[in-house]
């Protein structure tokens, strides 16, 4: 049985995440920043059996007046908490230029994307994407 970690990654110039009626500030007001919140316990995943889980969340991605805002938010399942090589902005703090061609990344991300990136085949600037090992 593999141990995987459920990550909640917030990407914006001033993002907040509500958890149990508390407010978490994950990034500063500076540009090109990412913030990470990790679920405290790993989730045991068996490579031979399907896993079903559900989640519920409410969020609003609202940029400051006069600003375009960040690239969105990603909910990630990964075998590692090490995102030190991940890049901000269009890579959502999860991927980088080398992981977009690496099938060994072992990352599943559900992204709420707020910026159109045609190089990743985004359909528009307001969509939900499922990323397996890559934002492409």
Number of domains observed in the structure of the chain: 1
Q: What's the confidence (pLDDT) of residue 4?
A: 42
**pLDDT tens track of the chain, all 136 residues?**
334 444 444 443 333 333 444 445 555 556 666 666 676 667 666 667 777 767 666 677 777 778 776 777 788 877 777 777 777 666 777 777 776 656 566 788 888 878 788 887 878 878 788 888 777 6
- The pLDDT assigned to 27 comes to 53
Rounded-to-integer distance, Cα 121 and Cα 133, Å: 15
Residue-level pLDDT at 5: 42
Contacts of 92 by beta carbon, 8 Å cutoff, 6+ apart: 9, 11, 34, 71, 72, 74, 86, 109, 111, 113, 135
- Residue 38's domain spans which residues? 2-132
For residue 75 the two structure tokens come to 């909910």
């Amino acid at each position: 049985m593999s141990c995987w970690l459920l990550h909640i990654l917030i990407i914006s110039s001033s993002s907040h995440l509500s958890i149990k009626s508390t407010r978490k500030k994950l990034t500063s007001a500076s540009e090109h920043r990412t913030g990470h919140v990790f679920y405290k316990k790993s989730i045991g995943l068996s490579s031979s059996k399907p896993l079903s889980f559900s989640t519920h969340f409410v969020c609003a991605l609202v940029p400051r007046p006069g600003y375009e805002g960040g690239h969105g938010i990603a909910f990630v399942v990964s075998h590692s908490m090490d995102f030190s090589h991940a890049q901000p902005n269009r890579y959502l703090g999860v991927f980088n230029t080398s992981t977009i061609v690496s099938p060994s990344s072992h990352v599943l991300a559900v992204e709420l994307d707020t910026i159109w990136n045609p190089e990743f085949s985004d359909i528009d600037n307001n969509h939900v994407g499922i990323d397996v090992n890559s934002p492409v």
